[in-house]
């Protein structure tokens, strides 16, 4: 895809996801010609921060190909300096116009953090670091009176979007200028559908039914 706007980039992702859900993917940009074209450099139109869950392969669920997406994955899509640096690189150096935080139902990291808060479960090793980074989302959900798994996962997606913009001055300035937008998407493992949870920046598009309250959060 040539250089585009955040809204067009989101449209492309949602259209690809619709093809994936319907079982009619195009499998674009996956041939030898594309491989050769990309050898000198990459030009992704979106950067995806997604959970490391093996069921959440971004290029597959959004029906994209080589060079289309810059993908960063961590358990529970938790943020660290290396993640923020990767996202900033994708937008400021590679020119990606859309940043997506991709969460999903039945997330093990969210479940572990919830168990830590509610039952005093203590994770061992570096898993504890992941749990601790998800815990603020669990506490925010409790404060808001959210109790279902779906609502808590959505809160974690919103929290990650907000934290990303709070911690990255570069990214927040790109959003304020309209150059980049950040979107939180929730993925359903059973049917493969990706839905908009929250947005920051201008992604006005007919393809996305965005809740105005969530967008402002």
SS3 readout for 83-118: HHHHHHHHHHCCCCCEEEEEEECCCHHHHHHHHHHH
Angle at which helices 149-167 and 81-92 pack, to 10 degrees? 70
Residues contacting residue 78 through CB under 8 Å, at least 6 positions apart = 109, 130, 133, 134, 160
What is residue 119's predicted lDDT score, i.e. its pLDDT?
85
DSSP H or E segment with residue 184:
strand 181-187
* Distance separating alpha carbons of residues 53 and 67, to the nearest angstrom: 21
pTM across the whole model: 0.89
Question: How far is Cα of residue 48 from the mean position of the Cα atoms in its chain?
Answer: 5
Residue 11: name the closest of 26, 51, 19 by CA: 19
Report residue 167: phi and psi, to 5°. -90, -25
Beta bridge partners of 102: 50, 185
* Distance separating alpha carbons of residues 67 and 149, to the nearest angstrom: 34
Q: Are β-strands 98-104 and 46-51 bridged in parallel, bridged antiparallel, or unpaired? A: parallel
Q: CA-CA-CA-CA torsion for 57, 61, 65, 66, nearest 10 degrees?
A: -20
Name the token pair of 50. Answer: 């997604």
Phi-psi region for residue 23, left (φ > 0), alpha (ψ -120 to 50) or beta? left
User: Coil, strand, or helix at residue 116?
Assistant: helix
What is residue 5's predicted lDDT score, i.e. its pLDDT?
92
Length, in residues, of the chain: 217
Provide the residue-wise pLDDT of the chain in tens; the chain has 217 residues: 556 899 999 999 999 999 999 999 999 999 999 999 999 999 999 999 999 999 999 999 999 999 999 999 999 999 999 999 999 999 999 999 999 999 999 999 999 999 999 888 778 899 999 999 999 999 999 999 999 999 999 999 999 999 999 999 999 999 999 999 999 999 999 999 999 999 999 887 544 433 433 443 3
């Amino acid at each position: 895809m040539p250089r585009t706007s955040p809204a067009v980039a989101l449209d492309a992702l949602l259209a690809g996801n619709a093809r994936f859900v319907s079982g009619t993917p195009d499998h674009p940009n996956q041939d030898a010609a594309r491989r050769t074209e990309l050898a000198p450099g990459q030009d992704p139109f979106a950067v995806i921060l997604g959970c490391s869950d093996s069921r959440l392969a971004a290029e597959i669920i959004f029906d994209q190909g080589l060079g289309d997406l810059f993908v960063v994955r961590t358990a529970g899509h938790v943020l660290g300096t290396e993640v923020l640096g990767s996202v900033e690189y994708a937008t400021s150096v590679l020119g990606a116009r859309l940043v997506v935080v991709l969460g999903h139902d039945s997330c093990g990291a969210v479940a572990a953090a919830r168990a830590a808060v509610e039952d005093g479960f203590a994770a061992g090793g570096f898993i504890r670091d992941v749990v601790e980074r998800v815990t603020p989302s669990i506490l925010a959900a409790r404060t808001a009176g959210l109790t279902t798994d779906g609502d808590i996962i959505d809160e974690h997606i919103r929290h990650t979007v907000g934290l990303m913009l709070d911690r990255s001055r570069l990214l927040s300035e790109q959003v304020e200028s309209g150059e980049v937008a950040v979107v939180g998407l929730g993925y359903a493992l059973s049917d493969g559908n990706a839905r908009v949870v929250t947005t920051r920046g201008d992604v006005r598009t007919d393809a996305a039914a965005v809740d105005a309250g969530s967008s402002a959060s």
